Amino acid sequence: MRPFIICCMISLLLLTFYIREGETGPIHGVRSVVTTITTPVRMVGSIVASPFHAVGNVISNVTAPQETLSELRQRNEQLTAEVAKLTEAEKTAERLEGLLGLRSTYSLESTAARIVGGSSDAWSHTVTIDKGTVDGLEVGMAVCNSGGAIGQIVEVSATSSTVRLLTDETSGISAMVQRSRAQGILQGQPDGSLQLNYITADSDVSVGDIVITSGLGGVFPKGLPLGTVTSVNRASNATYYTVTVRAQSLAENNEEVLVITSVSAEQAASSEDVASANAQSAGVAPASAADSAGKND
């Protein structure tokens, strides 16, 4: 015990001197030198020992009781499910917030619905929503998502409705260029694209222009976004431009929509808009196009 007692006394003396000499002193200097010398050795030792620690962890996991491993797996599955549930709730809240924002911005009289199905063939662009006549829905009502107008109800049953999308080739909606107020008919194409037809060659339309609903027909409120002009072409001596439009948003990428149940007088096209549209297309637009506009908007 004598060497042990002597070492303890020396340690106490060194500790006392170490504390009393402040931030600098011979003992601090010795400690700094020793730390500098031994640091590389400790690093090498840590590197060498790491594989053995890893092997030890693997062996510990392998030899752990089966009950413990089963409990950990179950807990991991529960946490994964909770994370997925919270993420889905967050995404749903974001979508609903967008719909509420659109309804508030345009003061829409509307009812919310959920998309429950899509087209069953490659020739039509439709979706099915989970609301019908029992909810007050009717054929012809406009449908929109948080990005703007997406289509119109064409079939309705007691508890569901079929919505024909803008991109369907039988779709036609009265629309206008937001910047210049040039008016035409936005129609779907067989390839799923959109064209703004009956824009006369003397109209002002450019790539990047926003296309909105014109309010003609009283089905879609005036001013709802429809898409963005992506190209403007005109054949030699042609009366109209060929205007291609990219849809504002696709219904296939959404789950909730708003069905516009009524349009107020303030939301419909003004008498000036109607006069402008008549002056622009009088005696020029084919009757079939005018019929399409009247039926679909």
Whether the Cβ atoms of residue 192 and residue 168 lie closer than 8 Å to each other: no
Q: What is the pLDDT of residues 56-68, one digit of tens each?
A: 666 666 665 666 7
Q: What is the pLDDT at residue 85?
A: 80
Q: For residue 86, what pLDDT band results from cuts at 50, 70 and 90?
A: confident
- 């989970």: which residue's tokens? 130
Beta bridge partners of 244: 195, 231
Whether the Cβ atoms of residue 200 and residue 240 lie closer than 8 Å to each other: yes
Residue among 116, 289, 140 at smallest CA distance from 220: 140
Q: What is the pLDDT at residue 219?
A: 87
Q: What is the pLDDT at residue 56?
A: 65
Q: Is the confidence at residue 284, as pLDDT, over 90?
A: no
Q: What count of Cα atoms within 13 Å lies in the side-chain half-sphere of residue 191?
A: 6
The residue type found at 294 is G
- In b/e form, how buried is each residue of 121-134, taking b as 16+ CB within 10 angstroms? eeebbbbbbebbee
Share of the chain above pLDDT 70, in %: 75
Whether the Cβ atoms of residue 297 and residue 219 lie closer than 8 Å to each other: yes
Q: What is the pLDDT at residue 285?
A: 43
Q: For residue 213, what pLDDT band results from cuts at 50, 70 and 90?
A: very high
Q: What is the pLDDT of residues 231-257, one digit of tens each?
A: 999 888 888 999 999 987 766 557 889
Q: Is the confidence at residue 208, as pLDDT, over 70?
A: yes
pTM: 0.64
Higher pLDDT, 219 or 297: 219
Q: Is the confidence at residue 260, as pLDDT, over 80?
A: yes
Q: What is the pLDDT at residue 290?
A: 36
Q: Is 44 strand, coil or helix? A: helix
Whether the Cβ atoms of residue 245 and residue 195 lie closer than 8 Å to each other: yes
- Whole-angstrom distance, CA of residue 157 vs CA of residue 165: 18
**Residues composing the chain:** 297
Residue among 156, 140, 176 at smallest CA distance from 261: 140
Q: What is the pLDDT at residue 161?
A: 95
Q: What is the pLDDT of residues 25-49, one digit of tens each?
A: 676 666 666 667 767 766 776 776 6
